[in-house]
Amino acid sequence: MGENTLEYLKRRFDSESASDFLLPLPTDFYSSLSAYSQKLKRAASSGASEVSVHLIATQLRMIESMVRQLLRLRTRKAMLQNALLQLLPEERYVCSAEQKFQRRFQTLVDAVASGQPSFVEFAHLSESQRNITVRFVKHINELVGLDMRRYGPYEADDVASIPAASADILIAGGEAVEVYTRDDV
């Protein structure tokens, strides 16, 4: 992409916006943009002048904004037109989480509306049994989860998977931070 990356990205976004259908993108589209952004960040951190750093930061914000808009536009079109296979793998990755959310959302609404308390109980049980991976910020004595199991003690920088309800309390209290695993991203 090189020197004309912003113009190239803008042209792609404008073309996609003007079309009712998904337009093909090069298979290396997002990786090339990412590599270019990495190059910009390296240039900014290599002793560039204050003006250069400001211009690079502005360019990075523009790239982020256009990628965000383009990705939203393309994934929305694909979902509405049932054309997921026309998306790039990176875009399908984003859509799979949205599809899972929509299925779960609709299933819960349908279960409530049609009087299926067993599914509502299943959802409640699934969520209450969910674990979250956290990194502890400070020492934490042993704690008892909603599952009545004992967890800990933990030292600062320890990482553990604990019940979501306990993790939420620790995170809210500033005693731990959530760690996103590969499955979460």
Final residue of a structural domain among 89, 121, 155: 89
pLDDT tens-place string over residues 149-170: 899 999 999 999 999 989 999 9
∠ Cα 164 170 175 (to 5°): 145
Residue 31 reports pLDDT greater than 60: yes
Assess whether 76 and 146 both reside in one domain.
no
Residue 98 forms part of a structural domain: no
**Where residue 160 sits, what CATH number does that domain have?**
3.40.5.50
**Where residue 22 sits, what CATH number does that domain have?**
1.20.58.1030
pLDDT tens-place string over residues 137-149: 999 999 988 778 8
How many domains does the structure of the chain reveal?
2
Q: Please give the structure tokens belonging to residue 29.
A: 């589209």
Q: Determine which of 7-11, 97-101, 131-135 has the lowest per-residue pLDDT on average.
A: 97-101
Instruction: For residues 95-106, give the mean pLDDT.
Output: 88
Assess whether 26 and 83 both reside in one domain.
yes
Nearby residues of 15 by Cβ (< 8 Å), 6 or more positions away: 23
Domain limits at 18?
Answer: 2-89
Q: 164: closest CA among 136, 137, 123, 126?
A: 126
Q: Would you state the pLDDT for residue 22? A: 95
How much of the chain exceeds pLDDT 70, in percent? 96
Cβ atoms < 10 Å from Cβ of 88:
18
pLDDT tens-place string over residues 87-100: 999 999 988 888 88
Work out the pLDDT band at 2, boundaries 50, 70, 90: very low
Assess whether 157 and 81 both reside in one domain.
no
pLDDT tens-place string over residues 50-68: 998 999 999 999 999 999 9
Final residue of a structural domain among 39, 61, 89: 89
Q: Please give the structure tokens belonging to residue 171.
A: 């995170």
Assess whether 6 and 60 both reside in one domain.
yes
